[in-house]
């Protein structure tokens, strides 16, 4: 399967400070730990300082809330932060679970790949809503999802397991 992946090297900011961190999943949340290092850039690749980020996701079972699995607007694993002066931030979370039930998409019922919603806004730029999916998700073998990733320029996160947690990097390009 051939998917493009926008990944950047993580560099320290001019002050040498670590990027801002948003902890979506507390330490006692069930699931496989994930650290996602992200950089927000303009469409031409320049870092977008201070971009406002809203990230949210399902828990390990694929539910946004315990009461109503698909209650996306009230996701309990959710939060806000602003990227640093180099456009960087980190999410400390778990790998999200896939939705428990398939949805009718295209010509058949399909399971949606596990993803993290990352909405980005910045002065002078159009808001961009991303759904970061994972390169190792077998659902991405479906041509429907490959086309969806390409057509909507959704980020595909390459992850590596280190010890007991997963680590990935992603670039989020906003118009």
In a domain, 102, yes or no: yes
Tell me which residue of 49, 124, 125, 133 sits closest to 96, measured CA to CA. 133
**Distance, CA of 170 to CA of 71 (rounded, Å):** 26
Quote the domain boundaries for residue 25.
21-174
Which pLDDT score is estimated for 12?
40
Q: Minimal CA–CA distance to 115: which of 95, 129, 100, 101?
A: 95
Query: Is residue 76 situated within a structural domain?
Result: yes
CA 48 to chain centre: 17
| Domain contains 16 | no
**Total domain count for the chain?**
1
Neighbours of 66 (CB within 10 A): 10
> Chain centroid to CA 134: how far?
9
Angstrom distance (rounded) from CA 163 to CA 155: 25
91: in domain: yes
41-88 per-position pLDDT tens digit = 999 999 999 999 999 999 999 999 988 878 888 999 999 999 999 999
Residue 37 counted as domain residue: yes
Q: What φ, ψ does residue 88 adopt, rounded to 5°?
A: -95, 155
pTM: 0.88
Distance CA 16, CA 4 (A): 30
Query: Is residue 124 included in any domain, yes or no?
Result: yes
> Residue 75: which CATH number?
2.60.130.10
114 inside domain: yes
- For position 147, what pLDDT does the model report? 96
């Amino acid at each position: 399967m051939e998917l493009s992946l926008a990944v950047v090297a993580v560099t320290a900011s001019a002050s040498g400070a670590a990027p801002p961190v948003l902890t979506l999943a507390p330490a006692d949340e069930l699931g496989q730990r994930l650290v996602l290092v992200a950089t927000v850039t303009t469409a031409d690749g320049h870092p977008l300082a201070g971009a406002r980020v809203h990230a949210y996701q399902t828990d390990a079972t694929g539910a946004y809330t315990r009461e109503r699995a698909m209650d996306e607007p009230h996701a309990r694993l959710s939060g806000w932060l602003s990227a640093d002066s180099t456009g960087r931030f980190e999410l400390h979370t778990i790998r999200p679970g896939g939705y428990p039930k398939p949805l009718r998409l295209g010509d058949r019922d399909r399971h949606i790949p596990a993803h993290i919603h990352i909405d980005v806004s910045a002065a002078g730029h159009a808001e961009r809503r991303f759904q970061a999916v994972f390169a190792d998700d077998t659902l991405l073998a479906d041509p429907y999802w490959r086309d969806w990733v390409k057509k909507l320029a959704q980020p595909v996160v390459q992850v590596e397991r280190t010890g007991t947690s997963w680590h990935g990097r992603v670039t989020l390009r906003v118009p």
